[in-house]
Amino acid sequence: MATLGLSEQDKQAVADFRRDVVDPSQTKLVLVDFWAEWCQPCKQLSPIIEKIAAEYADRGVLLVKINVDENRFIASQFRVQSIPTVYAIFQGQPVADLSQARTEGQYRQMLDQILPQLPIESEAGQMAQDLAPLLAMGEEVLAGGDAARALSIFGQISEMAPENEEATGGQIRALVALGHLDEAEALLAALPPELAKSAAVERGRAAIALARSATPGVDIAPLQARIAADPQDYDALFELSAAQMAAGHRDAAADALLAIIAGDRDWSEGKARNQLLQLFEVVGLEDPWVAAQRRRLSAILFS
């Protein structure tokens, strides 16, 4: 923004803008709110945008309010013709016009679309990098069968980052693996609504449901005898899959469920398929094992 030929007042306005907006925008997303004292819509918007900026501060969002009556030159440079006008600035350039947003939900939706596309430096981003190895360790330990240690790891992560959905979901799954279903459900019930809806927590919810449907310590020999006598005894196959899941034998559990689907995909209103999909969610939809079982399922459904 050139200053040649400007009045001293305008030069000062440019200097202030560089200090308050351009410089911080090199690493943050700066929301510039053009407003005026006489603007009633601006006054209505002010508490909303201030709340959103505070909510997203740890993700690298900063709010700067510019009074158009006191900064006419700056407003003219942005061709502000009506207020409130809100621009998102990154590295000195407008990257989005947020002027149409009027509700918290609309601002959240826009910011959630913008932020992942920019190399923003933020506390949340740094925290995510720091926690990633610990989360990976927790998942590895849980997959290795040491649920008690996994619970400790995920619990420590949750103490550092209470809103980390992966750590919370890991705690729930570790509690399920330990057989502490009531504790897992209590943890789930105490979560704030937004965290409870996250994919990682839904994975924990599926683990609880799957564990509730399984009966540990079942003697599978009678079930196997029934299936040998009648391969279409789907009740026995389903019970066998639940027993195998309770014993931690996911391959055998998947085999039993896929056998039901191959024989009658609509058996008991798709009960076997729903159970299999729930198993996929518990293991993790990105897991290579799930990908292999999905291919088997697709081969059956589309053959």
* H or E segment to which residue 95 belongs: strand 93-97
Q: Where are the alpha helices (DSSP H) in the chain?
A: 8-17, 40-55, 72-77, 104-114, 123-143, 147-160, 165-177, 181-189, 193-196, 199-213, 220-229, 234-246, 250-263, 271-283, 288-301
Report whether 264 contacts 289 (CB < 8 A): no
The Cα–Cα gap between 59 and 125 comes to 7
Report whether 50 contacts 64 (CB < 8 A): no
**Among 30, 31, 32, 39, which one carries the catalytic annotation?**
39
Encode burial over 51-76: b for 16+ CB neighbours within 10 A, e otherwise. Answer: ebbeebeebbbbbbbbbbeebebbbe
**CB-based contacts of 91-94 (< 8 A; 24+ apart in sequence):** 91/25, 91/26, 92/21, 92/22, 92/25, 92/26
Q: Is 89 a catalytic residue?
A: no
Q: Is 42 a catalytic residue?
A: yes
**Among 14, 21, 31, 42, which one carries the catalytic annotation?**
42
Residues labelled catalytic: 39, 42
